[in-house]
Amino acid sequence: MTQKLALLDLVYDDLQRVEVKMRSIGAGAYAPLAEAFLNLLNSGGKRLRPALALAAYGLLADRASEKAIAAAAAVEMLHNATLVHDDLIDGALTRRGITTLNAQWNKGATVLAGDYLFARAAGFAAETENVRVVQLFAETLRTICEGELRQLFSSRQWRQSKESYYPRIFAKTASLFASSARSGAILGHATAAQEQALYDYGYHLGMAFQIVDDILDYTADEDTLGKPVGGDLRQGIVTLPFFYFLQSQPDPAPIVSRLDTALSLPGRSSGANDGLGEIIALVRASGAIEAAYTEAQEFCEQAQANLEALPANPYRAALTELAEYTVARGA
């Protein structure tokens, strides 16, 4: 994150507490597992989800309690657990420019390492001693898994409807953003209306965030992404820019045929010269990026509107700025 966000300043001390809490699990754990986990934490990540939980809490209450720290650690740990399994499923060898666990360990060990992180995430959720936070945690994990499964089973269905995209990115990203904000709200003793507003903010922010991520997968360079460009297309995942692109084609059949051919070539996962580069260039030139970006902006505006019912304080201002930043990444 090159721009310095007010949010990360506001929750800086609490995020350090979250970091200490997450790292503490290395202490009692099986040594190879602890090492792998610390590598994962060290590889970066913006810690947006715990920051959201802490901001929602801070907006309503005083300095974060141990329970709020536990909730923030739970959402970040859950996120990391899903990353470990995602990388295994995708066969990804790098993330954030760093070698994945998947590239270092065998399949079985990687599955178990992810499971272990789920367990620790659930443990942090339980430390909140709040039944609703735990229920939310379980529900979100369920949503994420089910969404990933749908994505897997709809892979290479190039002509799937645009409407199928939104539930998929809700499951993948917005659900955890929304739950992170709601967890902080619950522990900050929000009213029902405040809790809903923060959930909705997290939802809209998450949707905007994922659309921008899906745009960057077409427009960014490999160094910025920390992974090969066009990864979604290579995995047969249909995202918003591709929908708009295919819609703009008078005859989509030749495109679909080229994609099917490209994805059946050996060695394509390496991002080698598989002909997909040309299709990515076509998507970029088609106006699809701009159309997708407009949608991200709309979600961002809705997120900002959700904040209006909440107390006007530095946390609210920081969350407004975060929404702006989220779409600015894709501009």
What residues make contact with its own copies under the rule CB under 8 A? Answer: 29-30, 32-33, 85, 88-90, 106-109, 111-116, 118-120, 122-123, 125-127, 129, 131, 134-135, 137-139, 141-142, 144-146, 148-150, 152-153
Alpha helices of 128-234 — where are they, by DSSP H?
A: 131-153, 165-169, 175-187, 192-219, 222-225, 231-234
What are the tokens at 296? 């991200």
Residues 6+ away with beta carbon under 8 Å from 137: 74, 75, 78, 121, 122, 125, 179, 183
**Shortest separation between residue 268's beta carbon and its own copies, angstroms:** 16
Closest to its own copies by CB, 12 or 30: 30
**Shortest separation between residue 101's beta carbon and its own copies, angstroms:** 12
Closest to its own copies by CB, 118 or 243: 118
Residue (of 172, 213, 197, 215) closest to 305 by Cα position: 197
Q: What Å distances lie between residue 82 and 39, 102, 111, 260, CA to CA?
A: 16, 13, 10, 28
Are 172 and 214 in contact by the 8 Å Cβ rule? The answer is no
- Give the separation between CA 242 and CA 3, rounded to whole angstroms: 29
**Shortest separation between residue 26's beta carbon and its own copies, angstroms:** 12
Closest to its own copies by CB, 118 or 203: 118
Closest to its own copies by CB, 101 or 211: 101
Are 95 and 43 in contact by the 8 Å Cβ rule? The answer is yes
What are the tokens at 295? 């949608």
Closest to its own copies by CB, 49 or 168: 168
**Shortest separation between residue 237's beta carbon and its own copies, angstroms:** 12
**Shortest separation between residue 18's beta carbon and its own copies, angstroms:** 18
Residues 6+ away with beta carbon under 8 Å from 281: none
Closest to its own copies by CB, 175 or 297: 175
**Shortest separation between residue 144's beta carbon and its own copies, angstroms:** 8
∠ CA 130-133-139, nearest 5°, is 140
**Shortest separation between residue 255's beta carbon and its own copies, angstroms:** 25
Closest to its own copies by CB, 131 or 281: 131
